[in-house]
Amino acid sequence: MPKNTLQQKLSFNFNLTPLLKNSINLLSMPYEELLVEINNALEENIILTENTKNTEKTEEFYSSNSKTNEDTFAKLAFKESLFSNLTSQLTNIGLNKQQLSIAHIMVENLTEVGFLEVSIETIMRVYLRKHPNTFIDIQQCEAIRQKIQTQLEPFGIASFNTQDFLLLQINHSKNISEQSLIVKLLSGKTDITQVSPLQKRNFIKVVNNLSKTPTNQLDNAQNPSIQPDIFINKTVDGWHIRLKKLPDITLNKEYLALRKQIPDKTLFNEHLNIARGLVDFLTYRHQYLQQITKALVAKQHQALDKGLAYLLPLTQKQLALALNMGESTLSRLIKNKYMDTPIGTLSIQDLFSANVGVHASKSIQHRIIQIIRHENKALSDQKICDLLTQDKVVICRRTVTKYRKKLNIPCAYQRNTMN
């Protein structure tokens, strides 16, 4: 007797990139990856367009209840951003209207250390999307980039990477011995194993004396892989917070008006759903990153002023409850996100810490680092514990030992031996 079987097969096929299929990935995506995803969506989705009418709209705001009574910190001046500094210089290097528009796009796509984070082809596509009835080619765009590199301050701004910047410095330097050989070594046209020991030493010496990024004005600029999503400064008016700007995308009303004229709306509706989802997501991301940052500044303003030794206990769960959002959602939003602050570039997660008594565990760890850094003779863990207790930090010796090992700091005997 044949068996009766019932098979059910469900399939779901949607023409989306893997990242757009999963909003969880989008939440934790760093700025650079999200920017690429948005640009790809603008190119592939006919319903999406970039809103260029509100280019003057600021994304800056002041957190409430953030002023302190400390006059020394009130004297801190607001630092002019790299972007505004370069923008003001562009009008003085002899660019026409079209070239100036392209130059602005390049400046908008600089990293915080001055590298151009997108290709010339992308710059050209962005310009043509905003000015569809004009003509520009890659050679013209590259000529504008080279002008920016050599005529704006700091020198070398808009280089693609460290290698590009090093080559630019060498080609514009005088009195470098064996300059042509160094250029070949840097560009990879000559292998370093093919040169003499003397030439190798000269090459290393020249490269070590060159700047590695166009600007070192920001803390942690020596690490170009870390790009802050949020910028925090303290001014005389309080705390000033800015989120790194993403393209302002919206639905194309002209294409939406054509919907009724399309017989088969399947593809159109797919594009529409994707477009609405991405627009809604970016709005959600911006609003909640603002709320998270404002709450962190209100709670941890002393740490942002003076250093992480002044960090207060705060867990992600506590902040999520305060903001009426899920802890997992908050965790994904702050993952891979960095802040440029008065004390340097920090991971957002650095501002969270469990408590040890009334103190944050990270705060205690930073105090241990400071004590060891200023010791004349290596102090034992018990002595460090005694000093912390005198500073009203309730802690036992075993916890000091645990934190010292976690920080990869040798014991007192080994530190004395090293000295």
Nearest-5° Cα angle at 179, 175 to 184: 165
Residues 338 and 233 in one domain: yes
For residues 122 and 408, which has the higher predicted lDDT (pLDDT)? 122
Residue 52 pLDDT greater than 50, yes or no: yes
Mean pLDDT of 62-70: 38
Residues 317 and 229 in one domain: yes
Residues 270 and 384 in one domain: no
Residues 389 and 297 in one domain: no
Would you say residue 175 lies in a domain? no
Bridge pairing between strands 355-356 and 249-251: unpaired
> Helix %, strand %, coil % for the chain, to 5?
50, 10, 40
Would you say residue 285 lies in a domain? yes
Residue 260 pLDDT greater than 80, yes or no: no
Residues 234 and 311 in one domain: yes
Mean pLDDT of 5-23: 42
Percentage, residues of the chain above pLDDT 90:
2
| Residues with Cβ within 8 Å of residue 362, at least 6 apart in sequence | 308, 311, 350, 353
Neighbouring-strand partners of residue 62? 240
Would you say residue 370 lies in a domain? yes
Residue 408's domain is classified under what CATH number? 1.10.10
Rounded CA separation 186/207 (Å): 9
Residue 293 binned pLDDT confidence (cut-offs 50, 70, 90): very high
Would you say residue 255 lies in a domain? yes
pLDDT value, residue 292: 92
| Residues with Cβ within 8 Å of residue 204, at least 6 apart in sequence | none
Last residue of a domain, one of 330, 351, 372: 351
Report the predicted TM-score, pTM, of the whole model to 2 decimal places: 0.51
Would you say residue 33 lies in a domain? yes
Give me the amino acid identity at 157.
I
Structure tokens at 281: 């997501």
For residues 343 and 68, which has the higher predicted lDDT (pLDDT)? 343
Rounded CA separation 118/34 (Å): 13
Would you say residue 239 lies in a domain? yes
pLDDT value, residue 220: 39
Residues 330 and 369 in one domain: no
> With contact defined as beta carbons under 8 Å apart, do 387 and 341 qualify?
no
Residues 258 and 286 in one domain: yes
Last residue of a domain, one of 300, 329, 351: 351
Would you say residue 301 lies in a domain? yes
Average pLDDT, the chain: 76
- The tens digit of pLDDT for each residue in 164-201 reads 888 888 888 777 778 888 888 877 787 877 878 888 77
Residue 419 pLDDT greater than 80, yes or no: no
Residue 263 pLDDT greater than 80, yes or no: no
Neighbouring-strand partners of residue 347? 338
Mean pLDDT of 249-261: 80
Rounded CA separation 401/322 (Å): 34
- The tens digit of pLDDT for each residue in 341-400 reads 888 888 888 888 877 666 777 778 888 888 887 888 888 888 888 888 888 787 888 888
Residues 303 and 379 in one domain: no
Domain extent at residue 291:
18-55+223-351
How many structural domains comprise the chain? Answer: 2
- The tens digit of pLDDT for each residue in 274-286 reads 888 888 888 888 8
Residues 344 and 364 in one domain: no
Q: What is the DSSP letter of 190?
A: S
**Reduced to 3 states, what is the DSSP secondary structure of residue 118?**
coil
- Residue 358 gets the label, from left (phi > 0), alpha (psi -120 to 50) or beta, of alpha
Would you say residue 252 lies in a domain? yes
Residues 336 and 382 in one domain: no
Q: Residue 304's CB: how many other CB atoms inside 10 A? A: 23
Residues 344 and 367 in one domain: no
- Integer CA distances (angstroms), 211 to 141, 148, 155, in order: 25, 17, 10
| Exposure string for 135-157, b = 16+ CB within 10 A, e = fewer | ebeeeebeebbebbbeebebbbb
Residues 338 and 363 in one domain: no
Q: Residue 123's CB: how many other CB atoms inside 10 A? A: 24
Mean pLDDT of 267-271: 81
Residue 141 pLDDT greater than 80, yes or no: yes
Last residue of a domain, one of 319, 351, 383: 351
